[in-house]
Structure formats: structure tokens, C-alpha cells
Amino acid sequence: MSTHAESVGSHGYKGYWLLWIVLLVITVTMIFIGDSPLSKAPQAILLLLGASLKASLIIFFYMHLRFENRNLILVVLLGIFLTGILMFVVPAFDGTQILEHRLYQ
């Protein structure tokens, strides 16, 4: 029976530290994009792409999803996608309905 130390020793922490540095670079880049003189639309698109990239890296490497069965990966990604829709699209639709109702009163 292998212990945790033996399993960690086989692949080491080098990959985790490298990924942490990549995430740090992406984060610093996103901070500079947020402070840049770009207009709001390109800024928002770049920041959303950066956040999506960071989330994907965390999901696949730190949560070890890249080693899992393809069906489990699809279930997890579908759950994240549906949660995103419920958190952002549904309230945005409801907010526009409230805004339109206030404008016509």
C-alpha cells in the first residue's frame, strides 16, 4: 500500500508551483488590463477570458479533473455552465424587466 508521501514523490510539487506562477502572471496581467485606458467592452472581454482561463486551469490541474473519465468532466463542466447561467443570465433578465417597468411608470 502506497502512502501519500510516495505518491507525491513520484510527480512532485514542481508542476503545482509552475501552475501557481502562471496563475499569478495571469492575475497581474488582469490587474493591468483593468487599469488600462481600453474602452469598457474590450476590457470586459479580456477580463472574462482571463477569468475563464484561470478557472479552467484550476479545475483541470488542482482539482485533478484532467485525469478523470470524459463523462465526469462533461458532467462537472455542464454543472458549472448551468450554475453560471443561473447566477448571471437569469438575474440580468429579471433586472432588465424591472428597469423597463420603472421607465414606463
Is the confidence at residue 1, as pLDDT, over 50?
no
- Which one-letter DSSP state was computed for residue 104? T
pLDDT tens-digit readout, 46-103? 998 999 899 889 988 888 877 888 888 888 889 888 988 888 887 777 777 766 776 5
Residue by residue, what is the 3-state secondary structure of 20-70?
Answer: HHHHHHHHHHHHHHHCCCCCHHHHHHHHHHHHHHHHHHHHHHHCCHHHCCH
CB atoms within 10 A of CB 13: 10
